[in-house]
Structure 1
Amino acid sequence: MTTRYCDTADVILLDIEGTTTPVDYVFGVLFPFARDHVADFLTIHQHKAEVQTDLQWLRQEYETDLAQGLSVPDWNFTEVTAAVPYIHHLITIDRKSTGLKSLQGKIWEQGYRDGILRSQIFADVKPAFERWTTAGKKLFIFSSGSIQAQQLLFRYSEVGDLTGFLGGYFDTQTGSKKEAQSYRKIASAIGVAPEKILFISDVTAELKAAQVAGMQTLFSVRLGNHSSESEGFPAIVNFDCV
């Protein structure tokens, strides 16, 4: 019988970018789409309560940046589109901003529904999802993208709707992906001991945090990832051995 990395885990917790989905889809498709459509989106949807909440989060973040002496674009708050330069700035630096991620998810939803966007998933992901669920494993996602954005990505994928395989999603509202407490919160929310959870990511700082929390870890090495240095973590190039 083939031994797999997931054999001693009851739950598999997955990162998205660089793990289930090419980095280039996020940076080369999703981010530019949000950047190009944010002004029109805000103009049309500015009166919706959930959009106002995103803008409030972003304004608080902007004021924090100013207080810290960071260089940011001017935002005079006179009209809704005045927020666009600051939003563009956050996209450019890829800040893990709750307000930004929430707003991006709403913009992407329209693109997915219109058929403009179809998310890219590595070829081994769907077969792995099928194999893991057949084996009784529960699957969850932990990404810096909003829960809405995560759900959209797996619902509107090029290989079909994969959301039926997933038991739940966690985002930055749980906490930073680089802090052990976030992984403890996830284990508690799922109701499984951390040592029974296998976390797979392409970022070693995240793996270190998950390891401190007691989780099993694997480093994802995919074509186009920012780094292939596993820093001692067991590394995989696909999910075939997991």
Structure 2
Amino acid sequence: MSDPSRLRLEEPTPEVVAIITDIEGTTSDIAFVHEVLFPYARAYLPDFVRAHADDPQITALLDEVREQARRPDADLDTVIAILDDWMAADRKATPLKALQGRVWRQGYLDGDFTGHVYDDAVAALQAWADDRRALYVYSSGSVAAQKLLFTYSDHGDLSGLFSGYFDTHVGPKKKTASYTAIAAELGEPPESLLFLSDVGDELDAARKAGLQTCWVARDDETHEKATIHEGHPIVTSFADIELI
């Protein structure tokens, strides 16, 4: 794969006051999510749900599952089967992500794994934070799961670098309205925000909302998609992003 030119965001591009980053495939290896986190959740989520089904917070999430599945009378075993089907399909359902986050929390606390974050992402995020640029995360994983990954990362506790987190409660990642809502919540002009992701439809939605975008293509397959898709600057590493 040929190295792309370094991305230089400078005049006449508006100053970037905040960076919003995706996690999976962007700050963190997609293999960590699919080969560590997802299998862990599938293995332990059923027992977790049964053990905490009377917890009001868990009960509310299970009711959300019933509502989204249009199975209002589903018993606990049926709800667990629905969740397993959703995990197998990698469905971005908000109650599923919240339940996965609760299971992963125990895994992090028990030291079963640490959150993978690329070296170049850590270095860039630290530099941007030192430069007083606000950092935010927007991922389909729950806010709780996002915080866990960066708190218990293999680089130590990185949570202090971030000013806030967004998940699908703000809206789907491929919808323009989600990015408009994020900009409004941050109180910043959309053009002053930079969104980093490895998914073209997400980047398209962010650009339509007025945000600056950058496609982080860490492997050959993603780089090929980015090249064909067009419309966004492409880098292979956070080290290639230079904010002037």
Structures share fold, TM-score greater than 0.5: yes
SS of the residue corresponding to residue 4 of structure 1 reads strand
Extract structure 1 runs of 4+ deviating beyond 6 A: none
Q: 1:77 aligns with which of 61, 74, 79?
A: 74
Matched with 2:90 is: 94
- Amino acid across the alignment from 2:84: H
Q: What is the CA deviation profile of residues 94-149 of structure 1, one whole-angstrom value per residue up to 9, with x for unaligned ones?
A: 11101100110011111111111211111111111111011121100000111001
Cα distance in 2 between the residues matched to 1:3 and 1:53: 45
Alignment of 1:133-152 (within 5 A): 133-152=129-148
Cα distance in 1 between the residues matched to 2:130 and 2:115: 24
Cα distance in 2 between the residues matched to 1:158 and 1:94: 25
Matched with 2:40 is: 33
- Amino acid across the alignment from 1:144: S
Cα distance in 1 between the residues matched to 2:77 and 2:27: 34
User: Quick check: 1:115 aligned with 2:111?
Assistant: yes
Matched with 1:179 is: 175
Deviation at 1:229, TM superposition (A): 1.4
Matched with 2:121 is: 125
Alignment of 1:1-242 (within 5 A): 4-5=8-9, 8-63=15-70, 77-78=74-75, 80-223=76-219, 228-230=224-226, 231-232=229-230, 233-242=232-241
- Amino acid across the alignment from 1:12: I
Matched with 1:69 is: none
Cα distance in 2 between the residues matched to 1:16 and 1:224: 18
Q: What is the CA deviation profile of residues 42-95 of structure 1, one whole-angstrom value per residue up to 9, with x for unaligned ones?
A: 12111111111110111111117xxxxxxxxxx9734x3332221111011111
SS of the residue corresponding to residue 240 of structure 2 reads coil
- Amino acid across the alignment from 1:142: Y
Cα distance in 1 between the residues matched to 2:157 and 2:127: 16
Deviation at 1:162, TM superposition (A): 0.6
Cα distance in 2 between the residues matched to 1:214 and 1:121: 28
- Amino acid across the alignment from 2:22: D
Cα distance in 1 between the residues matched to 2:187 and 2:33: 31
Question: TM-score under structure 2 normalisation?
Answer: 0.89
Question: TM-score under structure 1 normalisation?
Answer: 0.90
Q: Is the 8 A contact 1:76 1:82 kept in 2?
A: no
Cα distance in 2 between the residues matched to 1:202 and 1:58: 28
Matched with 2:3 is: none
Cα distance in 2 between the residues matched to 1:150 and 1:224: 26
Give the unaligned 5+ runs of structure 2: 1-5
Deviation at 1:228, TM superposition (A): 3.7
Give the unaligned 5+ runs of structure 1: 65-74
